[in-house]
Structure 1
Amino acid sequence: MQKYFGARICELLPRINTDIFIPSIQRPYVWEPEQIVKLFDSLMRGYPINTFMLWELTPDHFGDWDIYRFVNNFKHGDIHNDPAVLPPEKAATLVLDGQQRLTSLLIGLKGSYTVRNGARGKGAGWINKILLMNLLDSPDDDEEDTDGLKVRELYYSFKFVASDRLPKNDTTALWFPVSKIIQITDRDQLAAAIDRLLLLNPDLDGNRQTNLRKNLHRLWQVVHEEQTLAYYLEREQSYDKVLDIFIRANDGGTKLSKSDLLMSMITLRWDQFNARSETESITYAMRKKLDQENAFDRDYLLRSGLFFNDLDFAFQLRNFTPRNIAIIENTWQRVKRALLMATDLFAQFGIKGGALTGVNAVMLIACYLYKVNAGRPEADWTVPDGDERRIRRWITSVLFHGVLSGAANVTMEFYRRCLNEHLKLQAYFPVEELSTRMTTRGRDMTYDETAVGRFVAQEMKHRVAPLCLNLLYDREDWSIKDWQVVQVIPSFRLLEDRLRLQGVQPEEIGVYQSWGARLANQMILTDDEARDYYSMDLEDWVATRTAEFWQKHCLPNDPALYEEFNFLEFVQARKRLIAQRLDVVLKDSARVPEAGETIRADLAEAALLGADA
């Protein structure tokens, strides 16, 4: 029985989302626009683009599989495919290998690719792009190297352009929307289209007119005339055989990650949940809430299922036995609940975006929430009293000290073992045990002279700076933006001319200015406090501060230190105060509340002692 076939693009493309679909064992679409451009360039050059692998699924097996539609209007980073509605009277064809290439053809010839505009803040948005081809650019124009071979990677001029801002045509570039080639179904229509383009562009010289004819004719040939697509069609309905074909087709290179192969196994074995939609929904929720574009992928979610259930969580095929897959499925709702609770905590702590320097930190806290709430209905899950502060201080210190860098799996296993031992006797987050044991095994979490020096010297543009401010200011909820970071000594007072007048040596001016942008010179003020600060001269502002204010911000209460000439002495004084505060951060967090007592930091007293000193 014949299993290998050839097809023209114009024949196969209309079948997509009509009788050709995607099985749930496939990963989402991941190609970048540059890869689509290379695909079309390869087709135009007559290069093979590898064989597609298709599986014909009979209607009596439709209910056994989750089947999805191809996406033709793709949004970068999206992991969602809509479920397919299959006609019950005929077989469907599922793509086992080639989804990325087929989707790319669909996007280029019938759809669009939406990307971020690169702006931040209020100007952030998306740009919808379509594929264009410059019909005037000849693939034969470039210079050749000494061997007579062309030196450029792309021969034909394809590019994605914003659909609402198409480039203007001139005598050097005539940009043709590639999707229009689908509408030209025969050679007579092709000739008419070429004549119309020449009529609309009368200033083209002879060479450009020739390029236009050749390029459009070649594009039409690729889509309508040549059998550029080759595919293998499997008709057997055996799940095991199909999975074996899928894994063998995709396990030989970098086409699929290990998580995609493992997800295919899980998809076939889970009965209670749709593994693909479950992982997609939680991935989207965690990425959005914690401002992460590529984190929290399938690898992460599957490892969490192993980690929470005290299984070997190394991402190896050997760990995904049928038994372990069943354990993950049976506990999936609780795993998901713990991950989302931890995500909410990190968002509340303000540890997101660049400040989340290690996403495994979320898994650590989710594991604790999973274990401390064991045996309770999910609706009753909660963060134990006092734990939010303990968790926030500890995990912020973990990220600041880089505890999860290097051999992270070893550190995480150490954490899990410590957690299990502690939770046999107590139901609160074990800051003291974790901090002490981490330090003992070489993951130093103490705030010694070196650590404090690194802390106060953080430049505010560095991703660790928000973590430092989080530790310095004991705020419970950072998600409400009613505060702002303000320089204690404003930058205009550290300008070169002003410092020279103050008597600062020329060789020290750069040092003064450098410290002006570091954490030692930053404070967090409420909006009202900031308005008060900006409305007064610095000297008047200093003179009207209270002892409580100095304590809260770890600021020295000596007015002389706020003079520009004494700025480095101000930095040293504040460093000492910050050191005293950091010294008690984890110690205070480790203290366990007695019945009816609410844990709170006595940091103000420590700061006051330092200020008086």
Structure 2
Amino acid sequence: MGHKVPMTIATALHQIQNRQLILPAIQREYVWKPSQVIRVFDSVMRGYPIGSFLSWKVLPETVNKFRFYGFMKDYSAFDNRHNPVIDIPADREVIAILDGQQRLTSLNIGLRGTYAYKNHGGWANKPWSYPERRLHVNLAEEAPENELGLKYHFQFLTKDDVERAANDPNKQWLPVPEIFEASDTSAFIQLLARHGVGNDPDASALASKLWEAVHKTASLHFYEEDDQDIERVLDIFVRVNSGGTVLSYSDLLLSIATAQWEGDARAAVHGLVDSLNQTGNGFNFTRDTILKSGLVMADVGDIGFKVRNFTTANMAKLEAGWDAMSSSLHVAVGLLSDFGLSGGSLTADSVLIPVAYYVHQRGLDHSYRESPKTRNDRETLRSWVLRSLIVRGVWGSGLDTLLRDLREVIKSQGDSSFPVVAIERAMSVRGKPLTVTDALIDDILSLKYGKARTFAVLAALFPHVDTRNQFHIDHVFPATLLDKRSLRREKCGDGTPRFTPEQIDELIDRRDRLPNLQLLPGLENIGKSAKAPDGWLAEEYSQPENHSAFLARNALPQSLPSSVTEFMSFYDDRSVILTERIHDLLTSHVPDPSTTDTTALVDLDEELAEGDDSD
């Protein structure tokens, strides 16, 4: 490994532009935030070193063994986050970056391209929430006081941002890409004149400092590896990528898969993740979960994200079964959506893995989600999924061991139905029983409105809820009647405050906890609005039998509160009812196998299929 002659930033970017400097497929993608880009440019302006770079000279005979990508130039968090694939002629030598991609990409974006990130409060799924921004430097003054210790005022701006600052004497924004485009002294002088700062010594000095840092100062130092042994290069890559924005295990797995698959592993994985996350109301699955699912479904012995597991043989298994695994994952995510879960309520993504393995093992397709013949099995699966999400810690520590155990149970006993009895037994052995404790009940009853785990718990507790339809979490006693201002206005007959400050705090705290929450169909919840529950129920369910059925369905006491003075009593009564229901739902149904009729147990689990979710 040798040290190359230092080069200027402009030289490096021209090599990127001409595809002489490229990225091997083992590289992760661009992950830096705008603030990190700005910090690099501040360091460049100040003459600070921005670290050395490690490159790999790839000879023509090695080029066809790897897939290569170009550097990102116009990044968009909405629809352009993936590096472009490039084809390298077989007779061409190239230089691939092993370490320093994030820094070089940041320089490329700042000096040649754009960065589109979401406006604060903008819609995540709307393109107009991600306006195109170019990096600018303020020639009027240095950076305002800041916690990052930045000296120079760089900022990503839209055209509108620049226009709005046109009359601000403290803002003279110069687009940084124009510095790169001014490749010689003459072009730079014309640039200053065009922006009207040619006769401003301070502004000219700032612009000159940046121009010289880009075009004149040989600040980029490269170490170059010329060995063509891919295993050696991969080892170097792993070692040097242990710092900075740390290379995750899934990044590494994807990198190695991309290098070893005949197809485009990166495109396959990214495409699958994006597609799965668009299911139903949307999910937030990561590459980690999807790749771990792949290792489990490929029956790789050790499913841990460890370098020694990323063998050619394991990658070949993953690639050979990828299409079938992708189909199984689509069915599994569809089932989770059917169970009422989404990115906002699924708090343990790993629950997907055993569901996907069960689907994969049985070769199930989307008809399983709708067929009357599979209804009982779906309800059993739904019950288990949601109950496993209620109990804290099931999908935490010891995950790989648990997943291997569940895989073995499903493989040996899941040919015709979901083996819930054997699965819960295996979980109990691992110290993860789906059983009730006083601490668990207290934990569940203390769940608050707005928390992801709350929806799943409510769905688990109330079997009448068809979670494929839109349900809202509703305050039984309206939250608007339990706000601090309203409670302070409550008076006794003699005009004194009805509640002390401590009582008000307790009322407000209980207002948002589980005993005051229920699931209502969206339109019904909107219609209920801020009506007191006793009046609303009498109005909506005037027939006695319908009235009683609603109370039973939602585990509500026979008497509902009509005013805040009755709220605490109602809260305590419903806590008792919910405690009984939690016991019924979570009490273990995994008896001694020697005296158990498995079919009967599965039927019992079906009766308890009420759904649930985790924190």
TM range (shorter): 0.7 to 0.9
> Structure 2: how far apart are the matches of 1:240 and 1:510?
63
Within-5 A mapping of 1:266-415: 266-271=257-262, 273-289=263-279, 291=282, 295-297=285-287, 299-308=288-297, 309=299, 311-373=301-363, 384-402=374-392, 403-415=394-406
The CA deviation at 1:39 is 1.4
Post-superposition CA distance 1:495-534 (Å, at most 9, x none): 3256544895535343233222222122222245346535
Structure 1 residues 9 and 564: CA distance shift in structure 2, 3 A: closer
Q: Contact 2:380 / 2:609 at 8 angstroms: preserved in 1?
A: no
Read off the aligned partner of 1:160 and give its amino acid letter. Answer: F
The CA deviation at 1:586 is 5.4
Q: Contact 1:76 / 1:115 at 8 angstroms: preserved in 2?
A: yes
For structure 1, the 5+ residue unaligned runs are 144-150, 203-208, 605-613
The CA deviation at 1:401 is 1.5
Q: Contact 1:562 / 1:570 at 8 angstroms: preserved in 2?
A: no
| 1:512 aligned partner | 507
The partner residue of 1:454 within 425, 443, 456 is: 443
| 1:154 aligned partner | 150
> Structure 2: how far apart are the matches of 1:535 and 1:115?
38
Within-5 A mapping of 1:113-128: 113-119=115-121, 125-128=129-132
> Structure 1: how far apart are the matches of 2:203 and 2:333?
54
The partner residue of 1:168 within 143, 165, 169 is: 165
Q: Contact 2:390 / 2:457 at 8 angstroms: preserved in 1?
A: yes
Q: Contact 2:383 / 2:605 at 8 angstroms: preserved in 1?
A: no
Relative contact order, higher structure (CA 8 A, sep 6+): 2
Post-superposition CA distance 1:121-152 (Å, at most 9, x none): 6997324322111123358x999xxxxxxx97
> Structure 2: how far apart are the matches of 1:132 and 1:513?
48
The CA deviation at 1:588 is 11
Structure 1 residues 603 and 567: CA distance shift in structure 2, 3 A: farther
The CA deviation at 1:108 is 0.2
Q: Contact 1:584 / 1:603 at 8 angstroms: preserved in 2?
A: no
The two structures, once aligned, show a CA RMSD in angstroms of 3.8
| 1:609 aligned partner | none
Post-superposition CA distance 1:263-313 (Å, at most 9, x none): 443333333x322222222232334447556x522x434433333315112
> Structure 1: how far apart are the matches of 2:430 and 2:87?
56
Structure 1 residues 356 and 123: CA distance shift in structure 2, 3 A: closer
> Structure 1: how far apart are the matches of 2:260 and 2:123?
44
TM-score w.r.t. the length of structure 2 is 0.81
Within-5 A mapping of 1:182-193: 182-193=180-191
Aligned length: 577
Q: Contact 1:136 / 1:212 at 8 angstroms: preserved in 2?
A: yes
> Structure 1: how far apart are the matches of 2:98 and 2:314?
25
- Are 2:12 and 1:12 aligned? yes
Structure 1 residues 94 and 565: CA distance shift in structure 2, 3 A: same
Structure 1 residues 463 and 379: CA distance shift in structure 2, 3 A: closer
> Structure 2: how far apart are the matches of 1:286 and 1:243?
30
> Structure 1: how far apart are the matches of 2:475 and 2:226?
70
Post-superposition CA distance 1:68-121 (Å, at most 9, x none): 222211123865222224467744443333322221111101111122223266
Within-5 A mapping of 1:76-91: 76=77, 79-86=81-88, 90-91=92-93
Structure 1 residues 155 and 501: CA distance shift in structure 2, 3 A: same
> Structure 2: how far apart are the matches of 1:89 and 1:59?
5
- Are 2:57 and 1:68 aligned? no
The CA deviation at 1:256 is 3.0
Read off the aligned partner of 1:66 and give its amino acid letter. Answer: R
Structure 1 residues 237 and 453: CA distance shift in structure 2, 3 A: closer
Secondary structure of the corresponding residue to residue 160 of structure 2: coil
Secondary structure of the corresponding residue to residue 452 of structure 2: coil
The CA deviation at 1:215 is 1.0
Post-superposition CA distance 1:428-484 (Å, at most 9, x none): 223334345534654342345443343233210222211122213336753543x33
The partner residue of 2:419 within 405, 430, 437 is: 430
Secondary structure of the corresponding residue to residue 53 of structure 1: strand
The partner residue of 1:488 within 471, 476, 491 is: 476
> Structure 2: how far apart are the matches of 1:243 and 1:413?
28
Q: Contact 2:197 / 2:203 at 8 angstroms: preserved in 1?
A: no
TM-score w.r.t. the length of structure 1 is 0.82
Secondary structure of the corresponding residue to residue 22 of structure 1: strand
| 1:246 aligned partner | 237
Post-superposition CA distance 1:292-342 (Å, at most 9, x none): 56x522x43443333331511222122223333333333333333333322
Secondary structure of the corresponding residue to residue 133 of structure 2: strand
Secondary structure of the corresponding residue to residue 270 of structure 2: helix
Matched residues, percent identical?
Answer: 27
> Structure 2: how far apart are the matches of 1:416 and 1:138?
60
Read off the aligned partner of 2:216 and give its amino acid letter. Answer: E
